[in-house]
Structure 1
Amino acid sequence: MSVIRPLRAAFEAAWRPRAAEPVAAVDDGGGPTGDAVVDCAVYRDGVRHPGPRDPAAAIARVRRRGARGMFVWIGLFEPTESELAGVAEQFGLHPLAVEDAVHAHQRPKLERYDETLFMVLKTVRYVSHGELTSTSEVVETGEIMVFVGADFVITVRHGAHGALGALRRRLEEDPEQLAKGPASVLHAIADQVVDHYLDVAADVRKDIDEVESAVFADTRGDASQVGRIYQLKRELLELKRAVTPLDRPLQQLSETPIGVVHPEIRSYFRDVADHLSRVSDQVNGYDALIDSILQANLAQVQATQNEDMRKITAWAAIIAVPTMVCGVYGMNFKHMPELGWRFGYPLVLTVIATASWLIHRGFRRNGWL
């Protein structure tokens, strides 16, 4: 008994829940030593425990203990094929999902491989610019791939934005939520991504308002605005490609019972799905509004062109009178009207001026000049 009691006390002390310890200073853009691993931690009952930074050692520790409420969260940043292959072998990830995670440029989706979930989310960032031009980049996209198992969650991030360091620290401050397992991490990531959609949509709306004001401020129409409008529509399409396909995966997570998703987490996914519906409606509305602005600008340009053509036609008709008269007298026939009369030349000029004035007056009354 004298030997067992100290061992038992030491074991309980080792696994007693503690306050979340601060994460070691890690650059959110990459691993601390330049490798793909940004962070690796073991969690039990929502509390982070000090342990190995090596993914293999971390999952071995969890599975050796076999305790409920324990899982590993591994964060990777743009891993190479060989780096991710090592992690895939340790965690039993499906080769097709691993291939998608390495090469990126995937459509948002949710796939199930046995007891593992694989979800792709596209991150977005608004690119600040002084003035919107026909070449301005407005929306920059990246990707986050998430593998979720019974005792692990692996995040793979591509792109210079969408870092998860702050999200991890925020979750560690809420151990009750994190204790719901790896699916709580997936929910937090999806929630953050969709919240960024709302922020970017609000910033894009400012650009749309700016272009709309510029178009309707110039009633004569400006053909140079077409390039700006088209570029804004093209950038909005990038946001739409990130938002629209995510609807189905969130519906599945919120409505379909999945083994690795805690039942309470499904209600949280419904909330994220509601936010996504809101931003999806906004993006679709912006798309329709940009189409209307483009059509209005084209109509203004066409009206201006028609007005210019009327003016050109009117002046051409006026100039036709002296051209015709001078052309007749320029034929140099011997017998021409009033060739020998002293006042013939002033009379012809008077006739030309009078006819031109009458035609000009008629065009002014009709609004052509």
Structure 2
Amino acid sequence: MDVRLVTDGGIEDRPIEELPELLGDADNLVWVDIPSCDEEAVSVLAEVFCFHPMAVRACFERNRVPKVHAYPDHVFVILHAPERGERGHVHYIELDQFVGRNYLVTVHGPINPAVEPEVALRETSAILKRIKAGRLRPATPFELSYAIVSALTRHHEAYIETMTGDVWRLEQRVTGGQVDNPEEFLDELFRVRHGLLAVRTMGALSGAIYGRMTSLTRISPGGQRLVVDIADQFDRVRIVADGEREYLQGVIEFYQSVLTVKATLVGQAQNEEVKRLTEASYAQNEQVKKISAWAAIFFAPTLIGTVYGMNFDHMPELHWVAGYPAALALMVLVAVALYVMFRRRGWL
């Protein structure tokens, strides 16, 4: 936990034991920065600042959406910043603030173990460097909070800039026909879309809570102007994210149209191949029918000749005078009858 006194000449680190005395002077601007909400931090928040138990509990629990709670002597605000993770995952980096009459308490909420601890301190560290370098001289807690939140919104915009680069790269791959694996490419498209949707949601919800703060009468006119500007910054984040998300949606729809056209062409080619195979099969069947018909026609005379060619002793037809002509006539008659039948059925 870092206790700092912001003065006209810069910023001074003070021991935690001096915190009650520093808060007792209404002319002081005290900044207490808590990197992680441990037992000591909970004790300070509850006993020294006497914050509401629900607000204290919110500091060491993960909050999924931005919030604002107005108390008689301070305002409690919960915000998030996006951090890119693996495979398109978006980490929500939480920053809690207690903005009082002469103090600002910043609490960095729980973070995913996959995120470096320094990421949570990004905005407060940047503002601390500016104050030490003399480039920033906040005179009120709201001015100090304004500087930190403005740094947070700039990170939102930088995150959108990174996502925009991904959108352009994906668009170039689509228009250039450089997509080898459609399933993997669609996965990339929807990862980027998820990132834009996440930062858009952060901007919209954060802008909504600052919009609500503009109606709080306990905030000074100077603080109100800063609150209005922050609400405008978050609204811009939402608008830019919406624009890039719609642009990406156009890329997705274009790629889906390309896949549909390719699938249609493949289907047509397959239909033509099936048609060709069907025609070949039909022609083959016609030839088989002809062969079968002629085989049946020649089978009848062969059968008659085979029967009378067995030369058994008791075959009366073999001793008939008209046996041979009758056998030939029968062969011709059966063959002609089969020919006529197959001809009528279209086999010949």
**Shorter chain as normaliser: what TM range?**
0.7 to 0.9
Could you state the TM-score of these two structures normalised by the residue count of structure 1? 0.69
Say which of 80, 88, 101 aligns to 1:150.
Answer: 101
Return the match for 1:228 from 177, 188, 201. 188
The answer to whether the 8 A contact 1:221-1:298 is kept is no
Matched, 1:187 2:146: yes
- Find 2:231's aligned residue among 273, 284, 290: 273
1:62 aligns with 2:16: no
- 2:37 alignment partner in structure 1: 79
Q: Is the 8 A contact 2:45 2:56 kept in 1?
A: no
Instruction: Write the deviation string for residues 202-248 of structure 1: whole angstroms up to 9, x where unpaired.
Output: 11100001111111222999623211111111222221232110112
Q: Report how far residue 298 of structure 1 moved.
A: 1.4
Structure-1 separation of matches of 2:162 and 2:273: 48
Residues in 2 aligned to 1:250 and 1:46: alpha-carbon distance in whole angstroms = 30
Question: Take 2:136 and 2:193, find their aligned partners in 1: how far apart are those partners?
Answer: 43
User: Paired residue for 1:178, among 129, 138, 152?
Assistant: 138
State the SS of the aligned residue for 2:108. strand
Amino acid at match of 1:43: V
For residue 91 of structure 1, report the CA deviation from its aligned partner: 0.5
CA distance in 2, matches of 1:273, 1:167: 20
Distance 2:232 2:182 in 1: 40
1:145: how far off?
0.2
1:43 aligns with 2:6: yes
Q: Does 1:93 find its partner at 2:51? A: yes
User: Does the CA-based 8 Å contact 1:144-1:156 persist in structure 2?
Assistant: yes
Does residue 1:111 correspond to 2:62, yes or no? no
For structure 1, the residue ranges without an aligned partner over 5 or more in a row are 1-36, 128-134, 340-369
Match of 1:300 in 2: 258
Root-mean-square deviation (CA, aligned residues, Å) is 2.9
How do 1:245-284 and structure 2 match up within 5 A? 245-253=205-213, 255-259=214-218, 261-284=219-242
Q: Is the 8 A contact 1:125 1:196 kept in 2?
A: no
- Greater gyration radius: 2
Shift of 1:311: 0.7
Percent identity (aligned): 15
Secondary structure at the aligned position of 2:80 is classed as strand
**Would the alpha carbon gap of residues 95 and 106 (structure 1) be closer, same or farther in structure 2, given more than 3 Å must change?**
farther
1:24-51 C-alpha deviation (Å, 9 max, x unpaired) = xxxxxxxxxxxxx1x2123355753453
How far did 1:309 drift?
A: 0.8
TM-score by length of 2: 0.73
For 1:317, the equivalent position in structure 2 comes to: 275
How far apart in 1 are the matches of 2:215 and 2:43? Answer: 30
1 CA distance for matches of 2:36 and 2:297? 94
Q: How many matched pairs?
A: 288
| Aligned residue type for 1:151 | N
Given candidates 141, 157, 165, the residue that maps to 2:125 is: 165
Amino acid paired to 1:98:
V
Give the residue type in structure 1 aligned to 2:269.
Answer: K
Q: Is the 8 A contact 1:45 1:70 kept in 2?
A: no
In 1, the alpha carbon distance for the partners of 2:238 and 2:211 equals 14
